[in-house]
Structure 1
Amino acid sequence: MNGLALTPNPHWAMDNHLIAPGPDQLWHVSPTVDSLVADNQWLCELNGKPLVLPRDPKWQPDREALTWRMDHLQR
């Protein structure tokens, strides 16, 4: 069992493939997110920020799962 703890808004954005945690351990934001829309600012600011990972490696996300997320990010 592994993963990331998310609050509702990032959870929704990830489920809708607007953001993805990458195998580089950074957040990535879909280029479809319009940075000129004020409500999207929090998403745009997330781009390139490091993931906050559990200290214990057994609870950290699997690299293959992170790659899958990146492959499904809206383009």
Structure 2
Amino acid sequence: MVSAAKYTIERVGTLVTEEAIQIHGGIVMIWELPLSHYAKRLTMISHQYGDEDHHLDRFTALAHAMNG
């Protein structure tokens, strides 16, 4: 379940961050706005404990092991 959560957080977080930056343009990345901090934190989360591909593979392997 941890791998599924890590994958979901990374996938959805990246989508939301990219869309917010696209909508608001470069002003989002100035230090005064919280979104710049969220984008940087999401990047650090994606580098910790394996990337989304690793966790998707792990989750798939565990699901196959449990089902047979």
Do both share a fold (TM > 0.5)?
Answer: no
Q: Which is greater in Rg?
A: 2
Greater share of residues in helix: 2
TM value normalised by structure 2 = 0.31
Greater share of residues in strand: 1
